[in-house]
Structure 1
Amino acid sequence: MQIAAYPPSERWLTIPEFPPPGWERERARRQSLRLGLHTPDRRAELERLLREVQRMDRPTALARMLYLGDDAQSLFAVDIGLVIAHDDGTKAARHWAQQQLLKGILGPVQPVRLRPSPDIAGFWGRADGEAVGTISHPGVVVVLRKAGLPTVAVDIVIKVWAARPAEVVPRIDEIASLARGVAPAGRAPASSHGFS
C-alpha cells in the first residue's frame, strides 16, 4: 500500500525516492544553515548519514525521513510503512496484532503501550544485539493504529535506523507524532473520534 507522510516539524527531512547526484551534500549544507548548525563536523555527519541511508533497501511503499536534532547523537533515519490489519478490530485483537508486528521485526521484545493522541494507539519496542542501531537492523520500532483512516484498517509501522535505542527512546513521542501525518497515498490525513 502506497503511503503519504507529512512530517509535523522542521526537524524532519523527507528523503526522496530517487535523489539527484550531489543531493546529500547540498541538502546537508542547507539544513545545517537553517538549523544554525554551522560546524563542519555536524554538516559532514549529516551528509554521511544521508548517503548511508540511501544505500538501504527501500521498498516503494514506504516513506523515509531523517530526524535532525541539535547534535550528532540526535540524527537518525525513520522508515514509515502501512501494513493491512487482519484482526477483527476489537481492542484485544488489535493489541495482539500490533505486538506480533513488533516481534516479527525485532524478535523477542517487551512491548510498551503508546497513545500519542485519542485517535492513535499502539506499542513500541527496542531491540538488543550487535547490529542494532545500524542501517542493517532497526533499534526501535513503533506500531500504531490510527482511527478513521479512509481505507481498510492498517497499522502504521515506524522503524528507526542508524541510532542506538538509548539515543532514540527520549524522542519516542516525536517519532510517534509522525503517525498524525500519515495516510495512504492520494488521501489527506484523517481525524477521527478515537479508540477505546
Structure 2
Amino acid sequence: MQIAVTPDPGSWVVIPEFPPPGWARMEAQTRSLLLDMTGPQWRAAFANLLEELRRTERGTALARLLHVGEGGHQIFAVDLSLVIAQDDGSKEGRRATQRALIAELLPRPHEPQRLRPAPRMAGFQAVSEDTEAGTTNRPSAVVVLRMAGLPTVPVDLVMKAWKATPEIVASALDDMVALGHVVAPVEALPRTPES
C-alpha cells in the first residue's frame, strides 16, 4: 500500500526515491542555512548522508524521512509503511497484532509502551535494548499506530527508526509519534481535477 507523508519541514527531510539531479546538495545547503550550520564540511557530510539514505534499499512501499533535531542533533532515519491488519478489529486483536509487529521488527525491545496520541489513533512504541546504531533490518525503535478512518480495512502505520543509537532516537520519539498526524495512504488523498 502506497503512503504519503507531509511532515514539518523544520524537523524532517523527506528522502525521495527518484530525486532530481543535485537534490542532496541543494537540500543540504538549504538545511544548513535553516540550522545556522554553514560550514562546508557539515554541508558535504549532510549531502552524503542524504544520498546514502536514498540509495539504501527500500524493501517495501514506504516513505523514508530523516529527522534533524535543533542544531543538527537527533539525526536519524525513519521508514514509514502501512501494513494491513489481519485481526478482528477488537482492542485485544489490535494490541496483539501491534505487539507482534514490534516483536518481529525489534528483536530486543524494552517493554512496549502504549500510545494514544489522538482520539482516533492507538498503538505502541518500543526502543531497542541494543546500544549500537540501528539499521533497516535491526532498527533502534519502532512505533506502531492504528488510525481509525483511513481505508475500509484496518491498517497499522509502522515507523522504524534507524541510523542512530536507541538513546538518540528515544529522545525524539514524540516527533516520530507526531508523524501519525501527517500520514495517509495515497489512495485516500483527495484528487485534484488534473489527476
TM range, normalised to the smaller chain?
Answer: 0.7 to 0.9
Aligned to 2:171, the other structure's residue is in SS state helix
- Whether the 8 Å CA contact 1:6–1:182 is kept in 2: the answer is yes
- Whether the 8 Å CA contact 1:140–1:160 is kept in 2: the answer is yes
1:68 Cα deviation from its structure 2 partner? 1.6
Q: 1:153 maps to which residue?
A: 154
Amino acid at match of 1:66: L
Q: How does 1:61-72 map to 2 (within 5 A)?
A: 61-72=61-72
Instruction: Provide the TM-score with structure 2 as the length reference.
Output: 0.87
- Whether the 8 Å CA contact 1:45–1:72 is kept in 2: the answer is no
Q: 1:54 maps to which residue?
A: 54
- Whether the 8 Å CA contact 1:121–1:144 is kept in 2: the answer is yes
1:42 Cα deviation from its structure 2 partner? 3.1
Amino acid at match of 1:4: A
Q: 1:94 maps to which residue?
A: 94
Aligned length: 189
Structure 1: segments with no counterpart, 5+ residues: 190-196
1:72 Cα deviation from its structure 2 partner? 4.5
Q: 1:139 maps to which residue?
A: 140
Aligned-partner Cα distance in 1 for 2:165–2:10: 22
Structure 2: segments with no counterpart, 5+ residues: 191-195
1:137 Cα deviation from its structure 2 partner? 2.7
Of residues 33-42 and 63-72 in structure 1, the stretch that sits farther from structure 2 once superposed is 33-42
Aligned-partner Cα distance in 2 for 1:43–1:175: 24
1:135 Cα deviation from its structure 2 partner? 5.1
- Whether the 8 Å CA contact 1:46–1:75 is kept in 2: the answer is no
- Whether the 8 Å CA contact 2:125–2:143 is kept in 1: the answer is yes
1:119-149 Cα deviation digits (max 9, x unpaired): 1111111123475424553111110111111
Q: 1:113 maps to which residue?
A: 114
- Whether the 8 Å CA contact 1:8–1:177 is kept in 2: the answer is no
Amino acid at match of 1:120: M
Aligned-partner Cα distance in 2 for 1:33–1:138: 30
- Whether the 8 Å CA contact 1:42–1:71 is kept in 2: the answer is no
Q: 2:43 maps to which residue?
A: 43
Q: Indicate the percent of aligned positions where both proteins have the same amino acid.
A: 47
Aligned-partner Cα distance in 2 for 1:37–1:132: 24
1:27-82 Cα deviation digits (max 9, x unpaired): 10112113322233432332232122122111451111111222454111111000
Q: 1:193 maps to which residue?
A: none
Query: Considering only aligned residues, what root-mean-square deviation do their CA atoms show, in Å?
Result: 2.0
Aligned to 1:14, the other structure's residue is in SS state strand
- Whether the 8 Å CA contact 2:144–2:159 is kept in 1: the answer is yes
Aligned to 1:186, the other structure's residue is in SS state helix
